[in-house]
Structure formats: structure tokens, C-alpha cells
Structure 1
Amino acid sequence: MNAPLSPIRHSIETDTPVPPQPPKRHHRRTPLIIGLLVALAAGGTAVMKLKRNPNADLVTAPVTIGDIEQTVLATGTLKPVKLVAVGAQASGRLVALNVRLGQEVKAGDLIGEIDSLTQQNTLRTNEASLRNVRAQREEKLATLALAEANLARQQTTLAQKASSRADYDSAEATVKQTQAQIAQLDAQIVEAEVAIETARVNLGYTRITAPIDGTVLSIATQQGQTVNAVQSAPTIVVLGQVHTMTVRVEISEADVVRVKPGQNIYFTILGDPDHRYEAKLATIEPAPESIKSDSSFSSTSTTTSSSSSSSSSSTSSAIYYNGVFNVANPDGRLMTYMTAEVHILLGEARNVLTIPASALSSANVDGSYTIRVLDGAGALDRRTVRIGLNNKIRAEVTSGLRAGERVVINAPDQAPKQAVMPPPSAGAM
């Protein structure tokens, strides 16, 4: 029995080439499935558009219970409550320096010594001058005794008419002259004693002692350096009482009208912003620092030019008034010339309802505010509320809201803007 011919061989034998064909598949369901998917997608989009909440894009914030403070923010500088530059009143070479930076000293402790040879020689010279004047006085006392004895003899002989009146007058004049010379020497003795006291004081100036209890904050003159106290007293060291610090706060002219002595204060330093230091404002200086350079103190020849420059500078620069208060520094964490961020409390409220200040619009005529509240179902409601303290960040709500409610904080007419693409340039076509 013969085997069936393959398609290729059959095609060769019949001279009609018939290529093999793949099996046929049915594609009738594909357009139907694609159509159903498109319809479902369109329907879903329509349902989403119908169910979209128009208030979903509103930015809200909850009404919370917390603390609120209304403060004046200012910058201050820390200094020791007492700051003294210890200088030298004697000229010479600093032969000894007995302190180091950071050392605590007591009043009267020896800080340094200046070469005292010149002052010692001056003292010895003045003491010698005093001895010389006193010796001269002793000599005049002897001369006076002789003159008085001669006057007594002349008085006796004149009474007996054994001497002339001229001899008597000469003896009397000698006594008075000697007495005057003794008085002059007495004055010279006082002058010499004063010179000795001055020399002793100048000798004492060569020993530099601490005028107050304090800490050595700076050493301006090193051991072996020569100082000249003729024109001005050179600074040797700077002492400060750092256990109590004074803070000088620069308060702007816009805020100083709301600040008064006795208000509570807290401040922080840059290195430890989480630690608050409490204090009370002690005083407010009545004039700013710029009063020291006021044109009223200048000469009449420069009054016009200086007043014009002063007026221009006063209008272009801010004016600050210094507030001063002290704070205890037992652990020494506060250091000299640190910068303090000072908050002067104008008012405070604890455990009250608060909302963001951005939720408030302009106040009504009666002082109330109208805000928008979004409930749990997404419905928008307008509510009239009363506001207490407002520090421009958060505001205290005294009536009209409950804790947990959400208030709208964006503007009513605020809507997302679509980016507009510029038209293509001619070269891109």
C-alpha cells in the first residue's frame, strides 16, 4: 500500500506550489472585550466625577487645646553684672603676672607687679628732703633762742639807758625774722610729708590688686611688657562677676510702647535653644545709644552739616531702646557677650482652644471673626467665633468652636493653577 504524498512532494508533482498555512484562529471576541473595557473605564470615570467632593481640596487644621503666648521678640547681649578693666597707674616693666585666664580672684588679691625701682628712689629722695627741712628748723629754733635772749638783754639795758633804742629794735627784728623762717620751714615740712605720701602711693601702684571679686576674663598685658601710664592707664586684665549676668536687650521703637518694667521674660542662647532662662525686665533706658552722637553736642561751626547728616541717618536706620535685666548664672553656662533670643511676654493663656492664625480673615464690626468649618461628612459650614490672644501664628478661641473640629485655613478663592505651555516657535514646526 502506497504512503500518502506530502504536501511539498504533491506540489512538485502537480507543478503548483502550495505553501503550508498556519491553523486559523477565531478573533471575533476581541473587539467585544475591548469595547466592554472602554465602556467600563468611561463609566468608572463618570462615577468618580459624580462622587468627587468639591471640598476635598480645602486645606484644614484641627482645633486643639494648648498654650499660647503673645510676646515681643528681641535680641540681647550678655555681660557680667560687674565688668572692670584693671589698669596700671605706674609706668614701668611688668615683672610679675600672678593670674591666668578663668581664675577667680578676691578683692585685694595681687594680680601683677611693675618694676618699682623708680618709685622707691622717689620715696627715698622725698624722705631725705623732709629730714633736711626738719634740720633747718632745728637750726632756726636755736637762732630764735639766741635772738630772744639778746632781745631780753637789750630790753634791760634800754630800761637802764645803757643801750640805744636802735640796738633794741635790731634785736626785736631778729626775733621776728627768725620766727618767720621757722614758720616757712614748717610749711616746707608739710610739703615734704605730702610728697612722701604721694611717693608711697605711687610705689603702691606698682602692685596691681583686684578691685572686686571676679573672674579673669582677659589678659591685655603680658609679663615682661613695658606699660606707660603717663597719658592713659593701660589695661592689665579684665575682671567680671559672672555669677550674675546682665542682659541688654535691643527693643525696636515699634515694640517699646508695649513693653514696661516688671514684665516676665524668657530667653534662649544659640548653643542651647531648648533651655529657657526666666527673668523679669528691670528697666528700659529712656534714650537709644545713638544719643551719644547727637548733633546737639557738636560745635556751632559743624551744627548744620552734622544735623543734616544726623537727620538722614536717623531716617535710614532703625531705632532701638535698651531693656536691662539680670539673670543668675550659678553653673557658668552663660558666657560674656553671648547672644540671647529674648521673648518679652505681653500675655499668655494655658490649656485653651487654639487654631492657626491663617484661618482668620478680617474681623467683623463687633470684633468677631467668621471662619469656615469642615465637618466629618465633608460639608462646609460658616461659624462666628470670638478670638482672645493672637500671636500671628496661633490664635486663642474663646467661643464658637469645639476641640477636634477642623477649620479651613486656605483662601476661599484659592484654586490650583494650571500651567500654560508657550506656543511652539517657528523653527520647531
Structure 2
Amino acid sequence: MLSGARAWLQSASDLRAFRLVTRRSRLVLLAAGLVGLVGGGWLIKVRLTPPPLADVMTAAVTVGDIEEIVLASGTLKPVKLVAVGAQVSGRITALKVELGRKVAKGDLIAEIDSLTQQNTLRTAIASLDEKRAQRVEKEATLANAEATLARHQLTFAQKASSRADYDTAETTVKTTRAQIAQLDAQIVEAEVEVETARINLGYTRITAPIDGTVLAIVAQEGQTVNAVQSAPTIVVLGRLDVMTVRAEISEADIVRVKPGQDVWFTILGDPERRFHATLQSIEPAPESIKTDSSFSTTSTSSTSSSSSSSTSTSAIYYIGLFDVPNPDGRLRTYMTAQVRIVLGGAKAVPVVPAAALGGRRDDGTYPVQVIGARGEIESRAVTVGFNTKVMAEIRAGLTAGERVVTGRRNAETQAQTRMGPPPPMGF
């Protein structure tokens, strides 16, 4: 009986221990469930609720330099560009220059066969000598006629000769004097012919009209040139120590541009180097005026109307000119220049992206959305100075370090922000 009591007590103790373990397990499971529920809710909130200001893009107000410019595309040309041609016809017997060679004014470039011009000069000189000889002859005749007239005057006064002889002698003197005057005019004409022939002979020696560099050789030695209808080009010379930039300025920008403004440009081969100059002049009309239909007398009304229509739809550009030194020869003929005409600028001023500005108000200010100290967005009016359409100068309303709203993120960007970055490739 004692052993049975002991067995009963042991079973009761085991039951109490089992109930205690079961109760603790339930508490642990309940606590784990609560923790999982709270963590899941927090995770859902983080994933589905965007962080503060996640849907806006911001930028800081910084201090920097700003320059308001007008963009233009330009072409580099030598400050002097001359096509050296032939003024007489003939065969080129010698070509004295090479491509790229520098020449001085007066240097011999080419020679043309001069035999024809030499013969023309000799003929003109012979004609001049003939006229001068005829004048000497007439001067002798005049002297004899004047002596005869003097004798007839004496004899006629003494009634020793007739009136007819006196009149004949007087007429001979007047005629001879007129013939001498005619010969004087012919001598002048002959002298002009000699001078023209001598000049034409000089044209057979083609010399450099300016100091420059041979940019092109159009004709070759042995080639025959014909200068009857037009002057054929032998070589092209250019002065390369100074280059002229012809910048095409659009009609939308030309009203803001004027001579005297600073300009700078870069070339495609060296975009980091700036070449500075001053805008010298602006041509009063675009290049298209040279082909205006108003100058054509053979165009019909239909052609004129179609030309006017095409002109009105094409872009209009005005040419701005300025010179730039080229001592090292880095700038070459017909290079393309990316020109910036400086309208104005400021240094070390507060600047913001132009996208942060709203529409201009009647009082001249612009609305800007600013991020406050607690992350809230507030609207503020600012005064703007120079505006390049990319960056804008702030003259009042903002200080360096503040942040402004520059735009809103799109739906795809916001979704990526909420969901986090995509998983690595392969997972």
C-alpha cells in the first residue's frame, strides 16, 4: 500500500510539471506571435509609406559664377583672303611657290609666257616714235610756212604781191598748226598704248599682293589660262596671324547682341581652351539677301511667291564679326567655332537651378519652394538677376546652403524608392 501511494504522488508531480511546461510554451508562442505581428506591420509601413520628401527633387543654393550668354556657330577665316589671278592670257611658264609657304608682298608667284605682250609693247613704241617723227616734220613745215607768211606780209604791204598769195600763206600756217595739234593728240594716245602694253607685260609676272601663306594652288606650271572672260585664279593667299570669326546669330538672339560685347569661343579639336575677343560688328542683313527674288528680273510671280514662302520658313541668321590673334597658327582656315557672346555676368553670387523658379510675377519676383528646417515645404518669393535657363542668380530671398525644390519624381522613381533597390542578378 505504501508503494501505491508513492506511485500516485509521482504521477501527480509529473502532471503538474507537464501543465507548467505547457503554460510556458503557450506564453512563448504568444509573445513570438506578437513580435512577428508588430514587425510585419512595421515592415509593411516602411515598404508602402514613402519617406519624408521622397517624391521631390531638391538642390542646394550654392555660391558661384554665372554668365548669361548667346550661343552662335562660327567659321574661322583669315583676316585677309585673296585669290591671286592672271590678268593676261597665256601659258604658265614658271610657278615659284609651294603649298603652305609664306610669301611677302611683291614676291614672285608665277610667270606667264610674255612673247605676245613683248611684241605688243614693241609695236606700241614704234607707233609712238612714228607720231613723234611726224610732229618733228610738221614743226619744220610750220617754220617754213610762217617764214613765207612773213615775207608775203611785207610784200603785200608794199603792194609787191597779190592778196591771194598772202591768203594762201596764212592758210598754210593755220593748217600746219592744226596738224601739229592733231599729232600731239595722237602722240598722247600712242603713249597710253605703250603704257598699257608695258603694264600687260608686267601682268605676266604675278606677284603677291599681301603678306600671307599659300593656302591653295589652283593652276599648275604648263597650264594655259584664259583671262578674256574672267580672271583665272592661280593661287589663294591668306594672312593667318589674325583670324576673323563669322558667327551666325539667330534672329531670336540678335536683338540682345551689340558690338563691343565680350565673346569667347572653342574649337572642336580643343574644347577646353577658350579664345577671347570683342564683337566688332554685325552685318545689317542676313546672307540670304544676296539671293532675294526681288533682284531677279526674269522670275515670274509664282516663282517669287514660292521663294518668299520658302524664305519665311527657313531660319534667319545675322553675321557677327570679330578678330582673334593667331600667333601660334593653332586656328586654321574654315574651322568651326562654338561662339559664346557674353550679355552679362556676376561672380561669387548665390545661384540655383533655373528649374526651381516658378513663373514670373507682376512685381518681378519668382516663387520658389524651399525646404524648411523641419523638412516642411514653404513657398518664398525671390528676386532673380542673370538667368542662363540652366542656372539663375538669386539677388534676394535665399541664402547659400538652403535647399529648394527643383521638381517631382515620376511614379516609376517613387515606386523604386519605396520598394528599395532590385535584387542582384541571378537571385
Q: TM-score, normalised by structure 1?
A: 0.80
Is the contact between residue 265 and residue 345 of structure 1 (CA under 8 Å) also seen in structure 2? yes
Which residue, out of 322, 326, 336, partners 2:323?
326
For residues 41 and 361 of structure 1, the distance between their equivalents in structure 2, rounded to whole angstroms, comes to: 48
Identity fraction in percent? 64
For residues 41 and 408 of structure 1, the distance between their equivalents in structure 2, rounded to whole angstroms, comes to: 39
Match of 2:63?
65
For residues 81 and 35 of structure 1, the distance between their equivalents in structure 2, rounded to whole angstroms, comes to: 93
- 1:401/1:143 Cα in 2 relative to 1: closer, same or farther (>3 Å)? closer
1:198 Cα deviation from its structure 2 partner = 0.9
> Please, what is the CA RMSD of the aligned residues?
3.0
Which residue, out of 206, 209, 216, partners 1:208?
206
- 1:133/1:400 Cα in 2 relative to 1: closer, same or farther (>3 Å)? closer
1:117 Cα deviation from its structure 2 partner = 0.8
Look up the SS of the partner of 1:242 in the other structure: strand
For residues 83 and 134 of structure 2, the distance between their equivalents in structure 1, rounded to whole angstroms, comes to: 46
User: Does residue 1:398 correspond to 2:398, yes or no?
Assistant: no
1:122 Cα deviation from its structure 2 partner = 0.6
Match of 1:10?
none
Which residue, out of 39, 56, 61, partners 1:44?
39
For residues 56 and 235 of structure 1, the distance between their equivalents in structure 2, rounded to whole angstroms, comes to: 70
For residues 377 and 127 of structure 1, the distance between their equivalents in structure 2, rounded to whole angstroms, comes to: 104
What pairs with 1:315-394 in structure 2 (closer than 5 Å)? 315-374=312-371, 379-394=376-391
Match of 2:277?
279
Which residue, out of 398, 412, 415, partners 1:416?
412
Match of 1:140?
138
Match of 2:22?
none
Look up the SS of the partner of 2:412 in the other structure: coil
1:111 Cα deviation from its structure 2 partner = 1.4
Deviates most, 285-294 or 366-375: 366-375
The amino acid of 1:48's aligned partner reads: L
Deviations 1:322-374 (A, max 9, x none): 11111111111111111111111122121122222222233445443443344
What is the total number of aligned residue pairs between the two structures?
A: 386
- 1:230/1:381 Cα in 2 relative to 1: closer, same or farther (>3 Å)? same
Deviates most, 52-61 or 205-214: 52-61
- 1:49/1:303 Cα in 2 relative to 1: closer, same or farther (>3 Å)? same
Deviates most, 289-298 or 313-322: 289-298
1:380 Cα deviation from its structure 2 partner = 4.3
Look up the SS of the partner of 1:196 in the other structure: helix
User: Does residue 1:313 correspond to 2:340, yes or no?
Assistant: no
Is the contact between residue 89 and residue 227 of structure 2 (CA under 8 Å) also seen in structure 1? yes
For residues 131 and 333 of structure 2, the distance between their equivalents in structure 1, rounded to whole angstroms, comes to: 55
The amino acid of 2:202's aligned partner reads: G
For residues 253 and 215 of structure 2, the distance between their equivalents in structure 1, rounded to whole angstroms, comes to: 34
Match of 2:241?
243
Is the contact between residue 56 and residue 378 of structure 1 (CA under 8 Å) also seen in structure 2? no
The amino acid of 1:259's aligned partner reads: V
Match of 1:252?
250
1:222 Cα deviation from its structure 2 partner = 1.5
Deviates most, 288-297 or 143-152: 143-152
What pairs with 1:24-43 in structure 2 (closer than 5 Å)? 43=38
Deviations 1:261-312 (A, max 9, x none): 211111111111111111121122222122222333233x646334312320
Match of 2:290?
292
Is the contact between residue 57 and residue 408 of structure 2 (CA under 8 Å) also seen in structure 1? no
Deviations 1:144-202 (A, max 9, x none): 34434444444455455554443343333333333332332222222211111111111
Deviations 1:121-141 (A, max 9, x none): 111111111222222223333
Q: TM-score, normalised by structure 2?
A: 0.81
1:220 Cα deviation from its structure 2 partner = 1.5
The amino acid of 2:82's aligned partner reads: V
Match of 2:422?
none
Deviations 1:242-264 (A, max 9, x none): 21211121111111111122111
In structure 2, the gaps of 5 or more residues are 1-27, 417-427
1:42 Cα deviation from its structure 2 partner = 6.0
For residues 162 and 403 of structure 1, the distance between their equivalents in structure 2, rounded to whole angstroms, comes to: 127
In structure 1, the gaps of 5 or more residues are 1-32, 420-429
The amino acid of 1:415's aligned partner reads: A
Match of 1:197?
195
**Higher-helix-fraction structure:** 2
- 1:162/1:308 Cα in 2 relative to 1: closer, same or farther (>3 Å)? same
Deviates most, 359-368 or 107-116: 359-368
Match of 1:93?
91
What pairs with 1:104-253 in structure 2 (closer than 5 Å)? 104-159=102-157, 161-253=159-251
Is the contact between residue 296 and residue 303 of structure 1 (CA under 8 Å) also seen in structure 2? no
